[in-house]
Copies of this chain bind each other. A is one copy, B any other.
Amino acid sequence: MTVLILTCEEDVTADMVVVHLNASGVPVVRLDPADLPGGVALSGEYVHGAFRGHLQSAGRLVSISGLRSIWMRRPGPAATRAPEPSDWLTEESGQALYGMLRGSDARWMNHPDAARRARHKPWQLRVAQGCGLPVPATLITTFPQAAREFAERYPDLVVKPVSGAHPQDPPRAVPTSRVAPDTDFTAVAFGPTLLQRRVAKRADIRLTVVGERLLAARKATPEDADPDQVDVRFASPDVPWQATEVPPRVAAAVGAYMRRAELAYGAFDFAEDADGTWWFLECNQSGQFGFVEVETGQPISRTVAEWLAHGGPEPRSHVNGSSTTVC
C-alpha cells in the first residue's frame, strides 16, 4: 500500500516527511497535478461493475486501489505545466485525477471537501464556539452602522480579511491590523469587513494537530512589544517558538473541532491572554509546520509520516516534545 503525496516540486516540507516514510520502508509516490498530462499520466477503466485505475509518475506505476493515504500538500493546479496549457485542459485533467481519487478508499490529509469548507473563517468561528473554544467578539458586516455600534461596545478592535491571502501573483498575506479609535466605517458598505476584539496577548500559540496528536508551540510577546503589532506572521523573529503543554480543556475542544471539521491536519492559531486563556483566532487546514519543527524540535513531520503510513503514531514510538492525545 502506497502513500500518494500531491505537491509541487520545490516543497521542502514534503521532503521532510518523505525522509521519514522512506526510512520506514513505506512506498511513496509524489507528483504534482500540474505535470498531468506529460510527466504524470493516468488511466481508469469502468467495466462489469468494477473500477481499475492507475497513476504514473517518474516511471512509477501505482494502482489507485493500492493507495493507503493521499496527502494534499501543495498541489499545483492540474495541467498548468502541460505543453499546451489551457483552462479547458486544467478542468478536464483536474476532474479526471480527483474524480478517480475521490472514488478510492484511501484516507485523506485533508479531504478536498473538508479542506474547502475549513477555509471559511465565518464557519470556523461558529465551529470553534460550538466546541467550547473561547472566540474573541467578532463582527463580519457590510452595514456601517453595525460596525459603529460594535466599535462602541468593543473599542479596542483589529480588522482582518474574511478570506486568506490576496489573490495577486504571487499571493500576498494581508496583515491583521489595529483599528484606530476615530475610524470612519462608511467604507464597510463596499466590502464585508471582519472586526474582532483585540486580545491583549502575552503570547502567540501555534497548535499543530495531526490526527489525534497535538503539538503546541508558544512564542512569548516581548514586554516592550508595539501593541499595534498584532499579526504574529509579521512579529519580531528574535523571540523563538518553544514547545508548550496544551491545557486539557483546549485539547478536548480542539479534538471536537477536528472531528466536526473532518480534518486530519490543522494548524490552530490562538492568542494567550494575561489569564492564560487561549483565544481561538483561526484554524488553517494547510498551515505550514516546517518553521515550528525547526525552532521547537517537535517531530511534526514524523507524526505526519506516521499518520500517512498507519493512520496514527507508531504503536511503540516515543514522541519527544509536548503532545496530548485526544480521544
Contact = CB atoms under 8 A, between A and B. Distances in A.
A259 to B, nearest CB: 16
A46 B137 contact: yes
A129 B92 contact: no
A167 to B, nearest CB: 5
Contacts of A46: 125-126, 129, 135, 137-139
Contacts of A96: 122, 140, 142, 162, 192, 194
Given A51-B129, A88-B166, A137-B47, A99 B116 contact: no
A127 interface: yes
Contacts of A139: 43-46
A179 interface: no
A116 B139 CA distance: 29
A119 B103 CA distance: 13
A97 B93 CA distance: 30
Contacts of A87: 167
Contacts of A56: 143
Interface in A112-148: 113, 116-117, 119-127, 129, 135, 137-143, 146
A27 B262 CA distance: 34
B137 A191 contact: no
Nearest to A166: B88
Contact of A91 (B82, B97, B163): B163
Interface in A77-118: 79, 82-84, 87-89, 91-100, 102-103, 113, 116-117
A135 B124 CA distance: 40
Given A100-B122, A100-B140, A140-B100, A162 B95 contact: yes
A150 interface: yes
Contact of A127 (B43, B103, B143): B103
B88 A102 contact: no
Interface in A19-57: 36-38, 41-51, 56
- Give the interface centre of A36, A84, A91, A194 by most chain B CB atoms within 10 Å: A91
19 contacts: A36-B192, A37-B191, A37-B192, A41-B143, A44-B122, A44-B141, A45-B138, A46-B125, A46-B135, A79-B191, A88-B166, A89-B191, A92-B191, A92-B192, A93-B191, A95-B122, A96-B142, A96-B162, A99-B123
